Amino acid sequence: MDHWRGKWALITGASAGIGQALAEQLAEAGAHLILTARRSERLEVLAEKLTRQYGVRIKIFPADLTRPAAPDDVFAFTEKQRLEVDLLVLNAGFGTYGPFSTSDRTRQLAMVQVNVAAVVALTHLYLPGMIDRRHGEVLIVSSTAAFQGLPYFATYAATKAFDLLFAEALAEEVRGYGLRVCALCPGRTVTEFQKVAGGPRRHKQQAKSAAEVARVGLQALAHGRSYTISGVVNYLHTHAQRFVPRRLVTGMAAKNLRPPA
């Protein structure tokens, strides 16, 4: 973790869950932080706490990534502050649960904006500077949902599949410049995701803590992996699907997630 000491890390979705855990672990490692999320009051509380505990420098910039212009606003802020971002953590994202055909289309498109478009925009803004400097890293928070179609979470799973493939491709593109890109794929995690998405509450006992997931992601990034799955059970379950017909996998997921009649 000393790898990031004294460097600036930009974290989206930093006000809760995995984003907050990533901020805490990077601050403990001595990284300076730029924290962004919608809820400014949570960012202020977190920044005050981490500054007091670890003595690192912290900047906050509230931003709503459902706005297409938000990535440019974030970038303009860091440029104005003359902050050299060495670690870009793209954690912001959300899901919605239920039949796609009766879902709120505005909400579905907002999910694509945050989970996909903002990831592409922010990476495109910060990657050229990293290439010029020949150092820098990008951590994109995907999901184990990325490995199969997920009925009743159809758009969410599709956006996370994009994040995974995007990260893996970029990891190879920029490896020659000394840069690292990694997709972190958590399974069930103790965060606000379930509350926001409104999905079924099942298998709570298997959920990992946000701190555990954050640690796995940072370790994988530091070791130069292009993706990582948090938890041995999640890893085995995800890769076992390769040996099963895809239709059967989505069928089993549909049975598991189908809303009550």
Q: Which residues are the active-site residues?
A: 156
Backbone region of residue 203 per phi and psi (left: phi > 0; alpha: psi in -120 to 50; beta: other values): left
CA distance 203 to 144: 15
Residue 84 near residue 133 (C-beta atoms within 8 A): yes
Token pair for 185? 């794929």
How many helices, marked H, and strands, marked E, lie in the chain? 10, 9
Token pair for 85? 């971002």
Query: How large is the angle between the packed helices 210-222 and 17-28, nearest 10 degrees?
Result: 60
Residue 140 near residue 11 (C-beta atoms within 8 A): no
Q: What is the DSSP string of 112-160?
A: HIIIIIHHHHHHHHHHHHHHHHT--EEEEE--GGGGS--TTSHHHHHHH
Query: Dihedral, CA atoms, 104, 69, 62, 15, nearest 10 degrees?
Result: 50
**Nearest 5°: phi and psi at 60?**
-120, 145
CA distance 241 to 250: 10
Vertex 18: Cα angle to 27 and 150 (nearest 5):
160
